[in-house]
Amino acid sequence: MSQTWISASKPTWTWMPAKRKAKPCSRTTASVSWKTWHNPALWRDAAGFAAACPAWHCGISVLAFSLNRDYSSTLSIAKNDREYHEHDRSTMSDYIIATASTSDLPRTWLDEHQVPFIAYGYTVGDRACEDDCREESRVAVYEGMRAGDRLKTSMINEFAYMDFFRSLLQSGLDVVFCDMSLEMSASYANSLVAAEKVRAEFPEQRLYVMDTRCISGGLGTLVVEMVRRKEQGASFDEVVAWAEQNKLNIAHRFTVDDLNYLKEGGRVSNASALLGTVLNIKPVLYVPDKGTLDVVSKVRGRKASLRAIRDGIVHDLSKVDPTGVEIHILHADCRKDAETIRDQVKAEYPQLGRITITSLGVVIGAHCGPGLLAVFYLCDGRYPE
């Protein structure tokens, strides 16, 4: 993605790729294409310019405008029709927000809000399945795992992403796609390759593939907030800008009940898993800004790990106004523990918004096992405490 910036050192303005110096404009006309406009940081850098130019809200990504020395402005349509139509779409709330099954959002919510998703695959024995995001499918998976089933997950290949992106772009709308962190799955790299190829087939439209640095319900929280803003009338550019600016403010906190699943996934050694099982050690984990899964602490016993999750929530909420904050609790066949966390947090912060409880999706659950409990919410950063 090309970086962009704005220079205000002269009474005329010019938009240029980063790492190039600004040159004085010989004309009082500036324009920027939607390809450059993808950088959300540009919104912050150009705050002063927005106040000076009343045309800003129209989406100058695809318009040309004249900015006179007295800061009055004159709008003109960009030179070709293609750019005009891109502007026309970008200023409307008619575009597609898509995700993957790893957002762990309930199928009922995805269907209600018309959010298309691409399904990850997994196998149970010799049976191939797709993560359909349905609650009954998740319940069946965890019941099977407790009975001895072992799941293997598979990444999504480039060609599946291409088919998915094509099916969305054929609607004639722009698309923003959100999958889980690059650091957690090679699928994201495949989606980038696929997107680059598909863009060439649909030059009139935008396909924005975001590195969310989120996983599971954190990704789901990001998608929910993006869709909420879209439904309130925010444009494509506004939603992308908000998501890029806030994705690292989504807290992810986890605890697992059985270290053997982490051992099978290569996240702990055989010796650590054995010793931890004998000593009843329960790791408490979080997702830092880089999008990995890191250990915060190791405690003795399930009650202590749940208390650590609750303390982490209290720590995070102490840094913000908790009024209206929504908390999403996901669990892998441990609903009673999820309800305990909900009740404790609600008692401490009655001004909170919704606290939802849903089953964890299959992909993360396959690697962490039954008994995993995770919480996600929008605050002001990601803290290991």
Length, in residues, of the chain: 385
- 59 and 28 inside one domain: yes
- 117 and 163 inside one domain: yes
Domain with 364 in it: 249-378
Domain closes at, from 246, 279, 300: 246
Answer yes or no: is 30 within a domain.
Answer: yes
Burial class of residue 181 (count of CB atoms within 10 Å of its CB; 0-12, 13-18, 19+): buried
Answer yes or no: is 13 within a domain.
Answer: yes
- 110 and 234 inside one domain: yes
Number of domain units in the chain: 3
Helix (H) or strand (E) holding 175: strand 175-179
Answer yes or no: is 383 within a domain.
Answer: no
- 115 and 10 inside one domain: no
- 21 and 126 inside one domain: no
- 291 and 203 inside one domain: no
- 106 and 220 inside one domain: yes
Facing residues of 130 across strands?
121
Domain closes at, from 90, 107, 142: 90
**What's the pLDDT score for residue 271?**
58
Answer yes or no: is 254 within a domain.
Answer: yes
- 266 and 360 inside one domain: yes
Domain closes at, from 90, 119, 141: 90
Determine the number of helices (DSSP H) and then strands (DSSP E) in the chain. Answer: 15, 18
Find the largest Cα–Cα distance for the chain: 75
Axis crossing angle, helix 81-90 with helix 236-246, rounded to the nearest 10: 60
Answer yes or no: is 119 within a domain.
Answer: yes
- 239 and 254 inside one domain: no
Q: Could you read off the pLDDT tens digit of each residue along the chain, which spans 385 residues?
A: 333 232 233 222 223 233 333 333 333 333 333 333 333 333 333 333 333 333 333 333 333 333 333 333 333 333 333 333 333 444 446 999 999 999 999 999 999 999 999 999 999 988 999 999 999 999 999 999 999 998 999 999 999 999 999 999 999 999 999 999 888 888 999 999 999 999 999 999 999 999 999 999 999 999 999 999 999 999 999 999 999 999 999 999 999 998 776 666 655 556 565 566 767 789 999 999 998 888 898 999 999 999 999 999 999 999 999 999 999 999 999 999 999 999 999 999 999 999 999 999 999 999 889 999 999 999 998 887 6
Q: Which residues of 343-370 are buried (b: 16+ CB within 10 A; e: fewer)?
A: ebbeeebeebeebbebbbbbbbbbbbbb
- In terms of Cα–Cα distance, which of 381, 319, 324, 314 is closest to 345? 314
Answer yes or no: is 385 within a domain.
Answer: no
Answer yes or no: is 227 within a domain.
Answer: yes
In whole angstroms, give the CA distance from residue 22 to residue 81. Answer: 28
Answer yes or no: is 384 within a domain.
Answer: no
In whole angstroms, give the CA distance from residue 262 to residue 317. Answer: 29
- 239 and 256 inside one domain: no
- 254 and 346 inside one domain: yes
Identity of residue 205: Q
